[in-house]
Amino acid sequence: MVEMVMSLTWLGLACWVVCFWWMHRISARQDALLKELHDMTRRIEHFSQAEHELIQEVHPQVGEIKEHVKNVAEAVGSEDAKDGR
């Protein structure tokens, strides 16, 4: 009977060791994945900021371009009216 209790005690201890090692491996993988995701988020944020800055530079020019296109469309429209088209 004592031998069976000792066997089960050692078996339980071995199970705890295996579970602890397994959880440590899972935790290490999660940490690596979180670090990778964090690095990826930083890169995306950097690119997003650069894109935002480019859009801010281009935005005033877009308004000017639209105005020029409108002026050209009006000029072409008035010439088409004169030609009878």
Indicate the pTM of the whole model.
0.51
Q: Minimal CA–CA distance to 47: which of 58, 55, 59, 57?
A: 55
- pLDDT value at residue 80: 61
pLDDT in tens, 5-52: 999 999 999 999 999 999 999 999 999 999 999 999 999 999 999 998
Q: How many CB atoms lie within 10 A of CB 28?
A: 10
Query: How large is the average pLDDT for residues 63-77?
Result: 80
The answer, yes or no, to whether residue 78 has pLDDT greater than 90, is no
pLDDT value for 77:
75
Q: Is the pLDDT of residue 58 over 80?
A: no
